[in-house]
Amino acid sequence: MKGKTVQKTEEFSRRNFIKTSTVAGATALLSGSERMFAAGSNKIRVGLIGCGGRGTYDTTNCLSCAENVELVAMGDIVADRLGRSRSQLTEKLPDKVKVTDDTCFVGWDAHKKVLACDIDLVILTEPPHFRPGHLRAAVEAGKHVFMEKPAAVDPVGVRSVIESAEIADQKDLTIVAGTQSRRVAHLVEGMKRIHNGDIGQIVGGQCLRIGGGMLNWSEATRQRQPEWSDMEWQLRRWLFLTWLSGDFIVEMHVHNIDRMNWALNAHPVQCIALGGRQVRTGPEYGNIYDHISVEYEYPGGVRVSYMGSQIDGLSYRQDARVIGTKGRAYTHEGDFIIDGEKPFKYDGPSPSPTLKQHADQIAAIRSGQHLNEGKRIAESTLTCIMGRMSAYTGRALKFDWALKASKLDLSPPQYEFGDLPMRPVAVPGKTPLV
């Protein structure tokens, strides 16, 4: 999420997080309901699966948000990412990084080896394609999970995530998703007012995220090395491959579309979309689009328009509107404004949501509180996927059909370093709806 709110990490004192988490743990001790960690201590041992920039960032926040949290295991498909992440984390938080050479794992089965370690919580940040499989393995291993958004890249993966979330409930495991917007202070306060009826009955909405092409994404600009197979090349450029990222509407703009689901307390009934690829030319930019627009219809005939792009040089916009019978709500960067019968403008503090999401989970683990965002992020992910599917095929489709009947599975034929032809760019009207 771009903007001043997310960047105000320093304003949200780490001391406050530590205090909050410690109080939650102490309360659990008094009630006798807390789970004991790491051989009788209150220590929470963390494993990281997916050691790119996001994994390093999330792990830094997780280790920083509370006392007695340490990183003990790491895994990635490729070795250099793991080595770079380990060095960065050790430099930032030397007292909290307890990883050894024996608890660092590389390869297609690295996630299994991390989960076999003595850990309580695992952070899942491999490319989104791997999320459903890694989540299932984690909950079956009895681990609490922090997983980045999105939850999947296709309907088959979404169904798996929902099933895994149900298993997590049966095992009293927490799942927190990286949709940090849900913990942004001005959005939380504004959404409360929408849900309390301050703008009346919702009749429509709009969300935009235009600009920011990411054509200069650091790793993606690297030239393909002779020793890299097709598979490794695609893994290193995962943002530009639909099978790995889900396209930009799924991988990045899930934040914006999730906010609309949040405002309406629902997922769409159906959608129709348009999209294409004008700027991203050549195989170095994979097969994803660079602009997509979707009309979503929510229950009760409420229509919400989404407009998104990743094209450098455009006028930048990232905002959302919700229209009601008694007023209008508008949010942009750090603002939440309601015009109408009950006007409102948020002017309170802006603590870091990227720290709070981890602190909330640590506190929930220690207190035994139920905290499972698996189904919610799965539904928001599918909202984005169905928009992409409609844009790719030119077909309107229903949410229930995508959830229950679509057979779309973007998995490669096998997981190995070798030949892997890139799938063609989708052509609306010709690419089939599966």
- Structural domain count, the chain: 1
Whether the per-residue pLDDT at 18 is higher than 50: the answer is no
Contacts of 215 (CB under 8 A, 6+ apart): 279, 280, 285, 312
Q: Per-residue pLDDT for 216 more than 70?
A: no
Q: In the chain, pLDDT over 90 holds for what percent of residues?
A: 84
Q: pLDDT at residue 35 above 90?
A: no
Inter-residue contact 313 to 215 (CB < 8 Å): no
Q: Confidence class of residue 223 from pLDDT cuts 50, 70 and 90?
A: confident
Looking at the domain assignment, is residue 251 inside a domain?
Answer: no
Tell whether 158 is covered by a domain: yes
Cα of first residue to Cα of last residue in the chain, in angstroms, is 31
Question: Rounded to an integer, what distance in angstroms lies between the CA atom of residue 401 and that of residue 407?
Answer: 10
Residue 290 burial (C-beta neighbours within 10 Å; 0-12, 13-18, 19+): buried
47 and 117 Cβ atoms separated by less than 8 Å: yes
SS3 of 359, please? helix
| Mean confidence (pLDDT) of the chain | 90
Q: Residue 412 domain-assigned?
A: no
Mean pLDDT of 295-321: 96
Evaluate whether residue 151 is within a structural domain.
yes
Calpha distance 39→34 (Å, rounded): 14
Full residue range of the structural domain in which residue 62 is found: 4-181+357-373
Read off the CATH number of the domain in which 95 is found: 3.40.50.720
CB contact set of 281 (below 8 Å; sequence gap of 6+): none
Taking 60 as the threshold, does the pLDDT of residue 14 lie above it?
no
pLDDT tens digits for range 54-69: 999 999 999 999 999 9
> What mean pLDDT comes out for the span 226-247?
95
At 215 the pLDDT is 63
Domain annotation covers residue 254: no
Per-residue model confidence as pLDDT tens digits over 178-202:
999 999 999 999 999 999 999 999 9
pLDDT at 176 over 90: yes
Q: Is residue 257 part of a domain?
A: no
Residue 433 lies in a domain: no
| Span 340-397, pLDDT tens digits | 999 999 999 999 999 999 999 999 999 999 999 999 999 999 999 999 999 999 999 9
Q: How far apart are CA 179 and CA 156, in angstroms?
A: 21
Q: Is residue 203 part of a domain?
A: no
